[in-house]
């Protein structure tokens, strides 16, 4: 089942974020503290973003988290930016990732239709599987390189 995360889910989300940290190629992710992660969750709890979780009778095993951000070039333009997308390793190959992404897109399209955002994003790290996000209506926006 896919549903909006609640404050009762914070510990499970923090657990998944720790796994996300270890899998990330970005060094600063590895330094993120649980307190910083709770601040992101607080933003979401204050309707400044969204988090969906995937769960079954064994518990929560996936999540997608996004925050609402003003565009750096125009403060009146808002976008929903995905910041973490994770499915536990033992649940990969199921429909969890697909259903989480679909819930995110459906929610973002609702915000877009209501005029609350101009666009929404999904990111793909170099260590991520080579997924075809165009199936969900995404088109490439930019490519970032790190030095």
58-107: pLDDT as tens digits: 999 999 999 999 998 999 999 999 999 999 999 988 999 999 999 999 99
Whether residue 146 is predicted with pLDDT greater than 70 in this model: the reply is: no
What integer pLDDT is reported at residue 103 of this predicted model?
98
Write down the pLDDT at residue 105.
96
**CATH number (domain holding residue 63):** 3.40.630.30
Note the Cα 92 to chain centre separation in Å. Answer: 16
Q: Could you give the CA distance from residue 72 to residue 47 in angstroms, rounded to a whole number? A: 20
In a domain, 141, yes or no: no
Residue 142 inside a domain? The answer is no
How much is the pLDDT for 23? Answer: 74
Looking at residue 128, what DSSP letter applies? S
Which residues constitute the domain of residue 62? 2-136
- Residues 13-18 have a mean pLDDT of 90
Residue 125 belongs to some domain of the structure: yes
What is the structure's pLDDT at 24? 72
Beta bridge partners of 62: 54, 87
Nearest to 42 by CA among 71, 13, 81, 77: 13
What is the structure's pLDDT at 63? 96
Q: How many domains does the chain contain in total?
A: 1
45 within domain boundaries:
yes
Note whether residue 6 is domain-resident.
yes
Q: Is residue 97 part of a domain?
A: yes
């Amino acid at each position: 089942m896919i549903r909006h995360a609640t404050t009762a889910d914070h510990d499970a989300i923090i657990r998944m974020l720790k796994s996300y940290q270890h899998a990330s190629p970005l060094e600063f992710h590895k330094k993120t503290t649980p307190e910083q992660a709770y601040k992101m969750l607080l933003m979401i709890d204050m309707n400044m973003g969204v988090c969906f979780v995937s769960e079954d009778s064994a518990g929560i095993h996936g999540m997608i988290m996004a925050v609402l951000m003003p565009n750096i070039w125009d403060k009146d333009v808002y976008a929903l930016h995905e910041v973490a997308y994770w499915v536990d390793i033992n649940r990969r190959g199921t429909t969890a990732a697909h259903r989480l992404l679909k819930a995110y897109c459906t929610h973002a399209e609702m915000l877009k239709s209501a005029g609350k955002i101009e666009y929404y994003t999904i990111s793909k790290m170099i260590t991520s599987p080579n997924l075809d996000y165009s199936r969900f209506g995404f088109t490439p926006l930019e490519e970032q390189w790190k030095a």
